[in-house]
Amino acid sequence: MDFELAHFPVRSLCWGAHTEYREGELVVNREALRAELLAEPLIDDVELSIVRPGDRTRILHVVDIVEPRWKDPERGSPFPGSLGPLYQCGLGRTHALDGVAVVTSGSLPRSEEAIIDMCGPGSELSRFGQMPGLVVLPKAREGSDPGAFGLALMRAGLRAAVFLAQTTQGLEPARTEAFSLDLGRNASTDLPRVGYLSFSYSHGIGRQKLFYGKSTKDIVPSVVHPNELLDGALVNDGYTKPTKNATHDILNHPMIRELHRRHNRDLVFAGMVLANHYATYEEKAAGAWHAARLLRHVVEAEAVVITKDGGGQADVDLMLACRACEEAGLRTVLVAKEESGGDGPSMVDVAPQADAMVSVGNCPEKVRLDESMELVIGGDGFLGAIQGDVSGTVEIPVQNIIGAIDPIGGSTLTARPG
């Protein structure tokens, strides 16, 4: 399966009379973009802002972050099923605007705070504070169902991403990147075959990912091609937890990229299974068993890396999958964020087979943000239990800085013994 990503780097972002990309400068016509977003029936109005690294700006209530993508309409939609008709992802060429983010913001029922600081300590903890961004803040049409509006807000981010990236149509990219992966047994037999088991948040509207537009709540463990995730098959609809993997993270999936990089060098990337976080223990145990069965007998892996998408209940899935894979003869490595806030354990469940784990950080760890902000976008107060000056000094759990802790390995935080 051959997939090519054409890269167009963005060094500056500004408003202008026409929406166009030229030699690293992205110019956006505000009213044209606004008209595109108002095509969503449940969006009554939308506020648009441009933010840049170094600005004394804080963005509140971040729902999702999307990398601008465009694909020739004859080859499909950049986000099939979630925006536009179903097409096969992971094939052909897709254009990407590098180094720029579309950020959606909104307060919805059960929302948890997620922020981006464009300067100060917060910006140093997240790559999203170090790239120019276009912030989309929609207002719901009166009487809209909150869940339906949440989905409209998600689509608004995708719409804005496509609107920006279509400026690259007909242009030559700065570079191209090829992802070619034959999942058959044609690779070297002298190298270990490593599979990847990826769990996705799966608890309904606002607490889910969408796979080709379908809620991960409704899927069963499935073999998918890794290129599909790099090409828009999986998007985020999760505004009820801060340590979410935004759509931007998935499109640049660090675990898949690393396994691609090492393929036929020191391992064979044998393939992957996408699984969901079921609600009950019995379903979790069955899902783990089915995932292990697919990895062992369909993917034909000899070892597996496992990542989760959440905390608490997601730890149970992680450990059940570890046990099931080890019992199937697969050596496992677990990648997990921790929830150590005191004397209690950092994870709610630990399997005896879990003897190789990588921490991507401790979510409740407090950080002090002491930069004075001139502009706050998204609201006039923090959500949840966070107390402090919304435009100034606040002590906040590191998990509430979106991008600081990346469950699929894209951040640089880790944990160490105290």
Q: What is the pLDDT of residues 105-158, one digit of tens each?
A: 998 888 889 999 999 999 999 999 999 999 999 999 999 999 999 999 999 999
pTM for the model: 0.95
pLDDT greater at residue 24 or residue 74: 24
Q: What is the DSSP letter of 243?
A: S
Backbone angles phi, psi at 399, to 5 degrees: -65, -25
Q: Does the pLDDT of residue 202 top 90, yes or no?
A: no
Q: Does the pLDDT of residue 386 top 70, yes or no?
A: yes
Rg of the Cα atoms in the chain? 21
pLDDT of residue 415: 59
Range with lowest mean pLDDT among 3-12, 198-207, 219-228: 198-207
With cut-offs at 50, 70 and 90, classify the pLDDT of residue 240.
low
pLDDT of residue 187: 58
Cα 415 to Cα 232: distance, rounded to the nearest angstrom: 31
Mind giving me the DSSP string for 344-406? Answer: S-SSS---TT---EEEEEETT-EEEE-PPPSEEES-SS-STT--B-TTS-EEEEGGGBTTSS-
Cα 28 to Cα 167: distance, rounded to the nearest angstrom: 10
Cα 13 to Cα 109: distance, rounded to the nearest angstrom: 32
Cα 319 to Cα 222: distance, rounded to the nearest angstrom: 19
Q: Are strands 214-215 and 175-180 parallel, antiparallel or unpaired?
A: unpaired
pLDDT of residue 139: 96
pLDDT greater at residue 86 or residue 385: 86
pLDDT of residue 186: 60
Query: Which residues are registered as beta bridge partners of 26?
Result: 13, 21
> Closest Cα to residue 218, out of 277, 295, 170?
277
Q: Does the pLDDT of residue 278 top 80, yes or no?
A: yes
Alpha carbon 231 to its chain's center = 12
Cα 145 to Cα 41: distance, rounded to the nearest angstrom: 12
Average pLDDT over residues 166-176: 97
Q: Does the pLDDT of residue 242 top 70, yes or no?
A: no
Range with lowest mean pLDDT among 22-31, 82-91, 124-133, 306-315: 306-315
With cut-offs at 50, 70 and 90, classify the pLDDT of residue 220.
very high
CB neighbourhood size of 142 (10 A): 6
Q: Does the pLDDT of residue 177 top 60, yes or no?
A: yes
* Total length of the chain: 418
Average pLDDT over residues 94-109: 94
Cα 127 to Cα 112: distance, rounded to the nearest angstrom: 20
Q: Are 77 and 106 in contact (CB under 8 A)?
A: no
Measured over all CA atoms, what is the biggest interatomic distance in the chain, rounded to whole angstroms? 62
Cα 261 to Cα 242: distance, rounded to the nearest angstrom: 29
SS3 (DSSP) at 227: helix
CA dihedral 253, 122, 124, 373 (to 10 degrees): 120
Q: Does the pLDDT of residue 21 top 70, yes or no?
A: yes
State which of 61-70, 350-359, 380-389 shows the largest mean pLDDT. Answer: 61-70
Which amino acid is located at 413 in the chain? L
With cut-offs at 50, 70 and 90, classify the pLDDT of residue 244.
confident
Cα 233 to Cα 229: distance, rounded to the nearest angstrom: 5
With cut-offs at 50, 70 and 90, classify the pLDDT of residue 241.
low
Q: Does the pLDDT of residue 344 top 60, yes or no?
A: no
pLDDT of residue 417: 65
Segments in 204-339 forming alpha helices (H) = 226-230, 247-251, 254-262, 281-297, 313-327
What would the pLDDT profile of 44-94 be if each residue is shown by its tens digit?
Answer: 999 999 999 999 999 999 999 999 999 999 888 999 999 999 999 999 999
3-class SS string, 15-39: ECCCCEEECCEEEECHHHHHHHHCC
